[in-house]
Amino acid sequence: MDDIRHALPQESDRFVPRLRRHIREAGLAYRTEQTYVHWIKRFIHFHGLRHPEELGTREIEAYLNHLAVDRHCSVNTQRIVLNALVYLYHRFLERDISNLQYSPAKQHRRLPVVYSGTEVQAIVAHLNGDYRLMVELLYGSGLRSAELLSLRIKDLDFGSGNLFVRGGKGNRDRATILPQALVPALRQQIDIVRLIHAQDLANGHGAVHLPNALERKYPGAAHSLAWQYLFPASRLAPDPRTGEVRRHHAHASALARQIRHAVKAAGINKPARAHAFRHSFATHLLEAGYDLRTIQELLGHADISTTEIYTHVVNRGSKGVLSPVDRLSPEISEALPVYDLAA
């Protein structure tokens, strides 16, 4: 249950609990809280465990330079660290840290890993049960791994053909495609969850974690089938906030492990990543002729420039772009040198 906010000690004078409480009162997402605290802790360790109140602009510049020059971090990483430190000093400690002078990290354009349609089929063929359906949804709906695992039964709308993502990246909701080919398997998965939930209720459990204050607003919702996770965990565990035993959703590490095994078994020599199915979803829609704005909305990108990266990895052959060597006559092609790799 590492995506559920842990309870904080009441009236603690310690730095990190006070910072976490401030972030929560500001209404930031839990993932943002985790990221900010992580980088602020690393900033403190970099400066010999000195308290942030003893540090200032010069120390912030030194750390940002260290990330860019010594650690060779990406632009995005440096930007995230800067946001965390700006929050720490400007909002939490209420100190001015304007006019920072530091070496910006180099911008590296990294093209996404994309599986072909044939490769997706081969990977799926080496998966079974829940994990097969999970990967089919990653590819069929363009979901992030965390979005997939956080799906509740109520988020599937078979009537409209929509799949609703709640609190995605940036804490935004969106609607994406509910693949019609997966409807029978999804209905079967709901039946499985219904049986698991009935057994949990019979054993005195059955309440699921609800976001924000919904548990107080809708007291009975936590025990309803609609709010149960579509892919529940195999075992019960205590809620880190209350200690109540609940059934959370499946863990991302288990899904990642199954994908690694399936990619290896399929003989595909590409990185085995859950996010690659989301990249493949976007790339294949672009190859099918869908416009960037539609794909942007389905992916939930705030900026269309993020979606434009997929224009660099589309299948050029499907667009009528032919390599010059492919235009050579058969006679010329046969005359090309053949290298003996065994030599």
Q: What is the average per-residue pLDDT within 66-79?
A: 90
Q: What's the token pair of residue 81?
A: 């660290």
pLDDT at 273: 94
pLDDT at 329: 60
Q: What is the pLDDT of residues 243-290, one digit of tens each?
A: 888 999 999 999 999 999 999 999 999 999 999 999 999 999 999 989
Q: What's the token pair of residue 31?
A: 């993932």
pTM of the entire predicted model? 0.81
pLDDT at 254: 94
**CATH numbers and ranges of domains, the chain:** 15-92 (1.10.150.130), 109-317 (1.10.443.10)
Quick check: is 169 catalytic?
yes
Q: What is the pLDDT of residues 160-171, one digit of tens each?
A: 999 999 887 777
The answer on pLDDT for 293 being more than 80 is yes
Quick check: is 45 catalytic?
no
What value does the mean pLDDT of the chain take? 89
Helix, strand or coil, per DSSP, at residue 215: helix
Which listed residue (126, 278, 279, 284) is catalytic?
278
Amino acid at 63: Y
**What is the per-residue burial (b if ≥16 Cβ within 10 Å, else e) of 240-255?**
eeeeeebbbbbeeebb
Which listed residue (197, 249, 284, 301) is catalytic?
301
Which listed residue (20, 126, 144, 279) is catalytic?
144
Please tell me the distance from the alpha carbon of residue 281 to that of residue 223, in angstroms, as a whole number: 34
7 close to 243: Cβ distance less than 8 angstroms: no
Quick check: is 90 catalytic?
no
Quick check: is 319 catalytic?
no
Give the pLDDT band (50/70/90) at residue 341: low
Quick check: is 261 catalytic?
no
The burial class, CB within 10 Å (0-12 / 13-18 / 19+), for 4 is middle
Residue 103 C-beta-side C-alpha neighbours within 13 Å: 14
Quick check: is 278 catalytic?
yes
pLDDT at 107: 73
Q: What is the pLDDT of residues 190-247, one digit of tens each?
A: 999 999 999 999 999 988 988 766 777 777 888 999 999 999 999 998 888 778 889 9
Which listed residue (154, 166, 169, 273) is catalytic?
169
Q: Which distant-in-sequence residues (6+ apart) come within 8 Å of 240 by Cβ?
A: 1, 4, 5, 6, 7
